[in-house]
Amino acid sequence: MRAITTVPPGGGVKLSQVNIESKNGLKIKTYRTGICGTDKEIAAGRLAFVRPELGSSLILGHEAVGIVTESDENSGFKEGDIVVPMVRRPGKCRMCRLGRQDFCEDGDFVEAGIRGKNGFMRDEFVEDPRFLVKVNDPSILDIAVLTEPMKNVMKMKEIFQFMRMRIPWYCDDSTLSCKNLYVFGTGTEGLLISTVFKSLGINVVEVNRHPLGENVMDYLDSNKIDYLDTSSETLGRKVKDQPMDAAIDAVGAMDVLKEITDNIRNNGIAIMFGTSGQLPSSTYEVLENIVDRNVVVVGSVDGAKAHYAEAIRFMETQGKAMQMERIITGKYEPEDLKIFSEKEKLEIKKVIAWS
* Neighbouring-strand partners of residue 229: 208
Nearer to Zn ion, 96 or 205 (CB): 96
Q: State how far the Cα of 50 lies from the Cα of 119, in Å rounded to an integer.
A: 12
Nearer to Zn ion, 52 or 91 (CB): 91
How many other β-carbons are positioned within 10 Å of the β-carbon of residue 111? 19
Least distance from Zn ion to the Cβ atom of residue 108, Å:
5
Nearer to Zn ion, 102 or 229 (CB): 102
Least distance from Zn ion to the Cβ atom of residue 99, Å:
11
Q: Give every strand in the sheet of 82-85, ordered side by side.
A: 124-127, 26-34, 63-70, 82-85, 132-135
Nearer to Zn ion, 104 or 146 (CB): 104
Nearer to Zn ion, 27 or 155 (CB): 155
Beta strands at 132-135 and 124-127: parallel, antiparallel or unpaired? unpaired
Nearer to Zn ion, 89 or 157 (CB): 89
Nearer to Zn ion, 43 or 96 (CB): 96
Least distance from Zn ion to the Cβ atom of residue 94, Å:
8
Q: State how far the Cα of 353 lies from the Cα of 196, in Å rounded to an integer.
A: 57
What DSSP letter does each residue of 109-128 carry, written as one string?
Answer: -EEETTBEE--S-BSEEEE-
Least distance from Zn ion to the Cβ atom of residue 259, Å:
33
Task: Please tell me the total number of residues recorded for the chain in this structure.
Answer: 355
CA 118 to chain centre: 23
The distance in angstroms from the start CA to the end CA of the chain is 87
Question: Interface residues with Zn ion (CB under 5 A)?
Answer: 91, 93, 96, 104
Least distance from Zn ion to the Cβ atom of residue 71, Å:
28
Least distance from Zn ion to the Cβ atom of residue 110, Å:
10
Contact 21, 134 (CB under 8 A): no
Sign of dihedral through CA atoms 23, 107, 251, 260?
Answer: positive
Least distance from Zn ion to the Cβ atom of residue 9, Å:
23
Give residue 279's identity as a one-letter amino acid code.
L
* Neighbouring-strand partners of residue 184: 207, 249
